[in-house]
Structure 1
Amino acid sequence: METYLTFRPGGSPLGNVAFPGGSHEASDRDTYQWFGPSLSQWSKRMDVLDQQLVQAHIVCAIRELFEETGILLAGTDEQSIIEMADPEEWMSAREAIAGQDLSFDEFLRRRGLGLRTDLLRPVAHWLNPNFALRRFDTWYFAATVPNRQEASLLRGKGKWGRWQVASQVLAQRNTSELGDLVGQPNTVGLNLSRISYPAVEMMLEAMADANGVVAYLSRSRSLDLKHPDLLVRDGIYYLEVLGSMSAESSRPWQATAGH
């Protein structure tokens, strides 16, 4: 099973190597043509009462996926999915949306498209540690890539992005294989725990353990909030994940943060 990993510039507190994503924008709460589960159903699934916030999470996930990879979960009805006919036109639209010269909802309206929210699955809910300078309440989603769409980096902004086999990344987690492949100053020579966030490693573990993509997407999950906490043992700092471990991992997880 493969997943798309990207380099996150700027010393992101959610990991230098992580999944595509980003922060909410005001337009994420605008009115969108909506295919798939209703906001009420999504609210129950995510156990979040504020349906506007639920919409913002879902729209943000779909928008950021499009901006950063070119994968667009949208169609003209509940059965259709858009195809990428003109790569240059697609890239120009992504640049305009990322630069906030074009709103995502306007881009979709011009093409008569609605969001295919049924292609998303929530897989985890994380809050980064309380010692972090900035705290992020983050939802992670999984989706399959529609036929005839291919991931590509956003022109002028993307540094590195590539499909990676989850089991292979984990097999090399104690080496600098992935960090060297990414090839950035803050990844070279570092192992997986030093360049990623605990949520990334735990979701990679779940992917590696799953019996294929369908099994991973259809898995029943607890979406309890999880967050890392700092521990010191024998002068070594560790991150211990607190919260329900049933969502994406069946065993306690720790990663060395440094000395």
Structure 2
Amino acid sequence: MPNSSSTPAGFRPAGKRLFPLNPDQREAALAWVEFGEHTPRKPRQASSVVLLKDSPGGLQTFMTYRSGGSPLGPVAFPGGTVEAADDDVTDWAGPAPAAWAKNLGTADIGLAKRHVVAAIRELFEETGILLAGPDASSLVEGNSGPEWMRARVSIASQENTFASVLKRYGLVLRTDLLKSLSHWTSPDFAHRRFDTRYFAAANPVNQEASLLENKGLWGRWVTAAEVLKDRHNSALGDEINLPATRGVVLGELLVPSVEIILEKIAAARGCIAYLNHTRAINEYQPKLVAGAGSTFSLEVATAPLSEGAPCRER
């Protein structure tokens, strides 16, 4: 059974793969195995967005550090929990919620809508990138000023809803700029579990990604192939330079979903090819594998996928 650490950048084999457990998961894994805590906690619905742009060194994506044992992993794409207030967004461009439900493989149209809204909301909160515009064919420009930061902070603190911010600026949600990728559920043993829908989007022209004021600890554009070349060492963890990351190898900073998506990004010929690639919305759930001496791994069943000119920012 191949281990993720032996997988070259840009290649994802078929079959079953083993991934290391990150430090936040070990206590939960021990309790699951040793004390018989075999009733999984109910996962919370979540959305995550793989933001993409081309570069001379290959396809890039924006990644952030997430503290507090996030089910998305210590280093991940922007994302978070679906909220009840996501139902309040009504100004909508792109595929109808019913079409999104079919695309996501669910009969629950309301849930599909909330996942899409949550994806765009979380992307805006965490990076400032806003997939919305005055009409169905345009996008907001110049999102880096203090007024936009205040809007992001107010949404993150729940002082305002995303719907109210969109209404204030007369904006329509551009759901046509999202592409669904995959569906992941946290392993059964985890104390915090997400049922996560992953989406992708091209970085809009005239918008710049930035961290949320007073909350973001680390984040930047990374070239997927370059990050994966360093998966055997702690280069990225040392760059983040926090007590929970220093000296930690890349494989323990990523959950399997993030590592596999990075591999597919690294294999893609460019952003347009990646976004236009026809893919089934596969469902994944890592399984806990116990080894000798109270060591654990996560097992994921995968299928071979190829990810297809360079992408101009929208």
TM-score exceeds 0.5:
yes
Tell me the TM-score normalized by structure 2.
Answer: 0.76
**Counterpart residue identity of residue 166, structure 2:** L
Q: Please give the TM-score of this superposition, normalised by the length of structure 1.
A: 0.92
Map of 2:257 onto structure 1: 199
Q: Aligned pair 1:122/2:122, yes or no? A: no
Structure 2 residue runs of 5 or longer lacking an equivalent are 1-58, 308-314
Q: Specify the alignment match of 2:84 in structure 1.
A: 26
Distance 2:272 2:133 in 1: 21
Aligned partner of 2:173: which letter?
L
Q: 8 Å contact 2:120–2:131 — kept in the other structure? A: yes
Report the 3-state secondary structure (helix = DSSP H, G, I; strand = E; otherwise coil) of the residue aligned with 1:63: helix
- Give the one of 95, 104, 112 matched to 2:153: 95
How far 1:76 moved relative to its partner? Answer: 1.5
Verify the 8 A CA contact 2:70 2:192 in the aligned structure 1.
Answer: no
Once the two structures are superposed, the pairs formed by residues 138-217 of structure 1 within 5 Å of their partners are: 138-217=196-275
Alpha-carbon distance change, 31 to 156 in structure 1, aligned in 2, over 3 angstroms: closer
Q: How far apart are 1:85 and its partner, in Å?
A: 5.6
Shift of 1:214: 0.7
Distance 1:174 1:59, change over 3 A: same
SS in 1 for 2:63: strand
Once the 2 structures are TM-superposed, how far is the Cα of residue 43 of structure 1 from its aligned partner?
1.1
Output the CA distance in 2 between the equivalents of 1:85 and 1:61: 18
Match of 1:109 among 167, 182, 185: 167
Q: How far apart are 1:98 and its partner, in Å?
A: 0.8
Partner amino acid, structure 1, of 2:150: S
User: 1:238: which partner in 2?
Assistant: 297
What is the aligned residue count? 248
Between the aligned residues of both structures, percent identity stands at 49
Please point out which of 60, 63, 67 is paired with 1:2. 60
One-letter code of the match for 1:185? P
Runs of 4+ in structure 1 deviating by more than 2 angstroms, as ranges, are: 232-237, 244-249
Cα distance change on mapping 1:170 and 1:150 into 2, 3 Å: same
Does structure 1 conserve the Cα–Cα contact (< 8 Å) formed by 2:126 and 2:211?
A: yes
AA aligned to 2:300 is: V
Distance 1:140 1:85, change over 3 A: closer
Root-mean-square deviation over aligned CA pairs: 1.6
Q: Could you say which structure has the greater relative contact order, defined with CA pairs below 8 angstroms and 6 or more residues apart?
A: 2
